[in-house]
Chain A
């Protein structure tokens, strides 16, 4: 597989898993406050950041995501009290492991965004999109069969 050096006009596909109670509400607030974030961020609402099985992250990459970001309530503020503490451990290990497999660490991120942080949501997404755009297309953890014929 060739590493892509050309990056012109590359718009990454970003999947953002957002917890229903904080980050999704944060995204809502960003919208109603007319703060923008790139349209190529596809939000998947989950009941709690803890709902995100590592399989979901891999599936997102398989289906063509160039970056995956997971957002939840700030630690201590989880709607289900402790859910995001587990998420924190899980995602630390998973992302570290993906990097160990050679997957660029810039492709994955965890951010805590509360319902009141519409501005932060927008800033985080803009920053992550920028980061992944600079990195280029995901070639290392993707299913070529999915992209066939594109």
Chain B
């Protein structure tokens, strides 16, 4: 990863110095090794804190909505999964392709600091990735862990390591998609009884604190005014721990991004209560795939989405419910 970071920094400096771009969106060093923050660099001098490591899990594409409206071109570093979101934003006219310079970067899967903590590793000072292993240095010593065990859950089921869009590429090593099937857990839930599923979601959603992190980080949630913030909508309630409002918020949010969600997994990554929110979106993805043909949001920046198109022979809702539709 080190060589990737160096090259990224070098290119960022070149682009800024030559004036080709007015700003570069990347990551800068946080307080620790494991908390880099998305950042906008406007000059080469600011690049001192530039960082790219195994903890740069954040999807930067949503920042483009604000940043690319500013004067001049914006360069952005996109991991393969982020490039899907980028296309989706272009498709929805939230950003303009020509305003942005896309640098596709290598990603070997990102790490989850909470999983490290569960393994008893705290006060991490550095992490070196070595094939299937990660060597974690901390104030309390060095440990070697299997990388698969400490990946962000969104990376475990990484759908593709192919950049969907790029102006240039910084990739040194071959990248591999996730080993786990991303619909495994959805299928498991589908196999449960209604009552079991209800209990599962009730327990998970009861943790929700309605902080809106999932919504605000989601590149598909790009409404200028969310219906849940609009007093005139009649649902802008904030009775944060009312059971119904939790259901309502998550159902409506999942539905609103259905067919547009690229499965970037940011919602689950940011949830302070670790609710597996991606399982909501994946149900829609799975249903769309089964009922209306395989569809991956963000694969292209044009074309219709499953919910804005139809065929005359689409399945009947009642058949879908009875499991008779294919």
Contacts and interface: CB of A to CB of B under 8 A. Distances in A.
10 contacts: A86-B308, A89-B314, A92-B287, A92-B314, A100-B189, A100-B283, A101-B201, A102-B196, A102-B199, A105-B194
Interface in B241-298: 242-245, 247-248, 251-252, 254-255, 258, 280, 283-284, 287-288, 291-292
A110 interface: yes
B180 interface: no
A92 B320 CA distance: 6
A143 B244 CA distance: 5
Given A141-B247, A142-B244, 7 more contacts: A55-B235, A62-B244, A88-B310, A97-B287, A100-B283, A101-B247, A109-B317
Contacts of B197: 99-102
B235 A82 contact: no
B194 A95 contact: no
B232 interface: no
Q: Which 9 A-B pairs have the closest CB atoms?
A: A102-B198, A85-B310, A102-B197, A143-B244, A110-B317, A92-B320, A92-B317, A91-B317, A105-B321
A102 B195 contact: yes
A86 B309 CA distance: 7
Given A55-B235, A88-B310, A98 B284 contact: no
Interface of A: 1, 3, 54-55, 58-59, 62, 75-76, 82, 85-86, 88-105, 108-111, 140-145
Nearest to A93: B287
Nearest to A76: B312
B312 A95 contact: no
Contact of B252 (A3, A58, A75, A86): A58
Nearest to A84: B310
Contacts of A111: 318
Contacts of B70: none
In the complex, which range does the number of interface residues on chain B fall in?
Answer: 35 or more
Contact of A90 (B199, B248, B307): B307
A101 B251 contact: yes
B200 A102 contact: yes
B47 to A, nearest CB: 45
A145 B242 contact: yes
Nearest to B322: A105
A149 to B, nearest CB: 16
Interface of A is mostly: helix
Contacts of B316: 88, 92, 110
Contact of A86 (B196, B244, B291, B307): B307
A61 B258 CA distance: 21
B257 to A, nearest CB: 12
B143 interface: no
A102 B202 contact: yes
A12 B196 CA distance: 24
A99 to B, nearest CB: 7
B203 to A, nearest CB: 11
A95 B16 CA distance: 50
B306 interface: yes
B321 A96 contact: yes
Interface in B192-231: 194-202, 227
Nearest to A145: B242
Contact of B307 (A58, A89, A95): A89
A131 B201 CA distance: 25
A102 B202 CA distance: 9
Given A96-B321, A103-B198, A88 B314 contact: yes
A102 B307 CA distance: 23
B283 A108 contact: no
B171 interface: no
A92 B194 contact: no
Contacts of B284: 93, 97
Interface centre among A97, A101, A103 (most CB of B within 10 A): A101
A76 B311 CA distance: 11
Nearest to B254: A97
A133 B221 CA distance: 38
B195 to A, nearest CB: 7
Contacts of B291: 89, 92-93
A103 B194 contact: yes
Given A93-B255, A103-B198, A85 B190 contact: no
Nearest to A106: B321
A79 B290 CA distance: 29
